[in-house]
Amino acid sequence: MLKIDNLHCQLEEEPDTKILKGVSLEVPAGEVHAIMGPNGSGKSTLSYVLSGRDGYEVTGGSASIDGEDLLDMDPEERAAAGLFLAFQYPVEIPGVGNMIFLRTAMNAQRKARGEEEISAPDFLKLVRAKAKELNISPEMMKRPVNVGFSGGEKKRNEILQMALLEPKMCILDETDSGLDVDAMKLVAGGVNAMRDAGRGFLVITHYQRLLDHIKPDVVHIMSAGRIIETGGPDLALKVENEGYADLIGAA
**7, 10, 42, 211: which one contacts ligand ATP (CB under 6 A)?**
42
Binding window for ligand ATP (CB under 6 A); candidates: 41-49, 68-76, 209-217, 241-249: 41-49
Answer whether 168's CB lies under 8 Å from 85's CB: no
Binding window for ligand ATP (CB under 6 A); candidates: 34-42, 93-101, 111-119, 126-134: 34-42
Decide: helix, strand or coil at residue 237: helix
Closest CB to Mg ion among 44 and 146?
Answer: 44
User: Measured from the CB of residue 60, what is the shortest distance to ligand ATP in angstroms?
Assistant: 17
Closest CB to ligand ATP among 42 and 216?
Answer: 42
User: Measured from the CB of residue 20, what is the shortest distance to ligand ATP in angstroms?
Assistant: 8
Binding window for ligand ATP (CB under 6 A); candidates: 2-10, 43-51, 67-75, 109-117: 43-51
Max Cα–Cα distance, the chain, nearest Å = 57
* CA angle at 206 for the pair 15 and 201, rounded to the nearest 5°: 85
Q: Does 126 bind other proteins (CB under 8 A)?
A: no
In the list ligand ATP, other proteins, Mg ion, none, the entry touching 45 (Cβ below 5 to 8 angstroms by class) is ligand ATP
Answer whether 32's CB lies under 8 Å from 175's CB: no
**10, 44, 109, 175: which one contacts Mg ion (CB under 5 A)?**
44
Which residues, 6+ apart, have CB-to-CB distance to 83 below 8 Å?
A: 2, 50, 51, 65, 70, 167, 168, 169, 171
Closest CB to other proteins among 72 and 76?
Answer: 76
- Picking from 208, 218, 194, 212, the residue whose alpha carbon sits closest to that of residue 238 is 208
Measured from the Cβ of residue 202, the count of other Cβ atoms closer than 10 Å reads 27
**Encoded amino acid at 56, one letter:** Y
Q: Does 78 bind other proteins (CB under 8 A)?
A: yes
